[in-house]
C-alpha cells in the first residue's frame, strides 16, 4: 500500500510552489511533481526531508536528483504524449515516474543491481509501466531504438555516440556534461551527421560511469 498522508501532500504542494518560483513554468511538469509521492522512492528514515528541494542518498553511493533538476530536465524534454523515451540512470525511479506520469513510453537503464531491483518494484507498486533494464547506459538499448528523446541523469564526460545513433532524426538528448560540475545540454540530431548543441546552465550530478569504473 502507498501511504501518502495529508502531511506529505502539503509538503509536496509547497515543493511545487518552490520549484515554480525557481523558474519551472511547464504546467504538466509541475502537475507531475505534485502528483508523485517522492517519499515512496526514498528510505523511510528520510520521510521528513523527502520534499525538500535537495538531492538525497539512495544507496550504492548514488543520489535521487534534486526535484528542481528533475523538473528542469523534464521541461527541456518537451514531451508529447506517447513519445518513446530512453532514460540513463534509473536510480530511485523517481525521474522515471515523472516521465510515465506525463504519458511517455519509458525505457530506463541502471548499472547498480540493488537500485535497479528496488526502482523496478517501486514503479510496479505505483502502476507505472516503465521498462527497466540492468546494464550499461553508454550502450543504450539498440533493439528498442530509435527513441524520440533520451534523458541522461548522471554527469557524462562527452556525448555517447551509441546513444546519438539510437535517436530519431529531429529527436534530442538532454545530457549534463562535465566532470566536477556539469553544464546541461540539449543535443538535437538534425541529420545523421549534424548535431545542434544548446547549453542551459550549471548543475551537479553523480558521474556516468562505464562498466570498468566503480
Q: Would you name the residues annotated as active-site residues?
A: 65
Query: What minimum distance in Å lies between the beta carbon of 194 and ligand SAH?
Result: 26
Report how far residue 17's alpha carbon sits from residue 30's, in angstroms, rounded to the nearest whole number.
9
Nearer to ligand SAH, 37 or 137 (CB): 137
* Residue 73 touching ligand SAH (CB under 6 A): no
What 8-state DSSP symbol labels residue 108?
A: E
| Greatest alpha-carbon span in the chain | 52
Binders in 104-143 for ligand SAH, by CB under 6 A: 109-112, 115, 136-138
Query: What minimum distance in Å lies between the beta carbon of 193 and ligand SAH?
Result: 25
Binders in 161-200 for ligand SAH, by CB under 6 A: none
Taken in order 201, 194, 160, 30, the sign of the CA dihedral is positive
- Pair 195, 177: CB distance under 8 Å: no
Host H or E run for residue 100: helix 94-101
Phi, psi of 75 (to 5 degrees): -60, -45
* Residue 66 touching ligand SAH (CB under 6 A): no
Query: What minimum distance in Å lies between the beta carbon of 177 and ligand SAH?
Result: 14
Q: Given candidates 91, 140, 171, 176, which one binds ligand SAH under the rule CB under 6 A?
A: 91
Query: What order of strands is seen across the sheet that includes strand 147-152?
Result: 131-134, 105-110, 84-88, 147-152, 167-177, 182-191, 194-203
Nearer to ligand SAH, 137 or 171 (CB): 137
* Residue 159 touching ligand SAH (CB under 6 A): no
Binding site for ligand SAH (CB under 6 A): 62-65, 88-89, 91-92, 94-95, 109-112, 115, 136-138, 153-154, 206, 208-210
Amino acid at each position: 500500500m502507498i501511504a501518502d498522508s495529508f502531511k506529505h501532500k502539503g509538503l509536496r504542494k509547497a515543493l511545487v510552489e518552490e520549484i515554480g518560483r525557481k523558474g519551472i513554468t511547464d504546467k504538466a511538469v509541475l502537475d507531475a511533481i505534485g502528483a508523485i509521492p517522492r517519499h515512496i522512492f526514498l528510505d523511510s528514515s528520510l520521510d521528513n526531508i523527502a520534499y525538500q528541494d535537495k538531492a538525497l542518498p539512495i544507496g550504492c553511493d548514488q543520489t535521487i536528483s534534486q526535484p528542481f533538476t528533475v523538473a528542469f530536465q523534464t521541461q527541456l524534454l518537451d514531451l508529447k504524449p506517447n513519445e518513446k523515451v530512453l532514460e540513463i540512470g534509473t536510480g530511485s525511479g523517481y525521474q522515471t515516474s515523472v516521465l510515465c506520469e506525463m504519458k511517455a513510453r519509458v525505457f530506463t537503464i541502471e548499472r547498480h543491481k540493488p537500485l535497479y531491483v528496488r526502482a523496478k518494484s517501486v514503479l510496479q507498486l505505483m502502476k507505472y509501466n516503465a521498462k527497466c533494464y540492468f546494464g550499461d547506459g553508454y550502450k543504450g538499448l539498440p533493439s528498442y531504438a530509435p527513441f524520440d528523446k533520451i534523458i541522461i541523469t548522471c554527469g557524462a564526460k562527452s556525448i555517447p555516440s551509441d546513444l546519438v545513433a539510437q535517436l530519431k532524426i529531429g529527436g534530442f538528448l538532454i545530457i549534463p556534461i562535465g566532470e566536477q560540475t556539469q553544464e546541461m545540454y540539449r543535443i538535437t540530431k538534425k541529420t545523421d551527421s549534424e548535431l545542434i548543441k544548446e547549453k542551459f546552465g550549471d548543475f551537479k550530478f553523480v558521474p556516468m560511469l562505464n562498466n570498468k569504473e566503480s
